[in-house]
Amino acid sequence: MSELKNKKVLLVITGGIAAYKSLELIRILKKKECSVKTILSKNANKFVTPLSVTSLSQEKVYSDLFDPNSEAEMDHISLSRWADIILIAPATANTLSKISNASADDLASTVLLAADKEFFIAPAMNVRMWENKSNKNNVNILKNMGHEFIGPVIGDMACGEYGEGKMTEPQEIVKYLEIKHKELKKNNGLKAIVTAGPTKEFIDPVRYITNRSSGKQGYEIANSLKKSGFNTTLISGPTQLDPIKGINTINISSAKEMFDSVIENLPADVAIFSAAVADFKVKDVSKNKIKNKENYSLSLEKNIDILKHVSNHNSLRPKLVLGFSAETNNIIENSQKKIAEKNCDWLIANDVSNQEIGFDSDFNEVSILYKSGEIEKISKDKKSVIANKIVRKIISNLD
Least confident among 48-57, 205-214, 288-297 = 288-297
Confidence of residue 227 (pLDDT cuts 50, 70, 90): confident
Confidence of residue 159 (pLDDT cuts 50, 70, 90): confident
Mean pLDDT of 187-214: 94
pLDDT digits (tens, 9 = 90+) for 263-283: 999 999 999 999 999 999 999
Query: Quick one: what percent of the chain has pLDDT higher than 70?
Result: 96
Query: What is the set of active-site residues?
Result: 159
Looking at residue 255, its pLDDT comes to 97
Rounded Cα gap, residues 54 and 154, in angstroms: 31
pLDDT digits (tens, 9 = 90+) for 34-74: 999 999 998 898 899 999 999 999 999 998 766 655 544 55
Map the chain to HEC letters.
CCCCCCCEEEEEECCCHHHHHHHHHHHHHHHCCCEEEEEECCCHHHCCCHHHHHHHHCCCEECCCCCHHHHCCCHHHHHHHHCCEEEEEEECHHHHHHHHCCCCCCHHHHHHHHCCCCCEEEECCCHHHHHCHHHHHHHHHHHHCCCEECCCEEEECCCCCEEEEECCCHHHHHHHHHHHHHHHHHHCCCEEEEEECECEEEEECCEEEECCCCCHHHHHHHHHHHHCCCEEEEEECCCCCCCCCCCEEEECCCHHHHHHHHHHCCCCCEEEECCECCCEEECCCCCCCCCCCCCCCCCEEECCCHHHHHHCCCCCCCCEEEEEEEECCCHHHHHHHHHHHHCCCEEEEEECCCCCCCCCCCEEEEEEEECCCCEEEEEEEEHHHHHHHHHHHHHHHHC
pLDDT at 141 over 70: yes
- The answer to whether 312 touches 232, Cβ cutoff 8 Å, is no
pLDDT, the chain, mean: 91
pLDDT digits (tens, 9 = 90+) for 314-326: 889 999 999 999 9
pLDDT digits (tens, 9 = 90+) for 6-45: 999 999 999 989 999 999 999 999 999 999 999 999 889 8
* Domains of the chain, earliest start first: 8-185 (3.40.50.1950), 188-398 (3.40.50.10300)
Mean pLDDT of 344-371: 90
Looking at residue 66, its pLDDT comes to 63
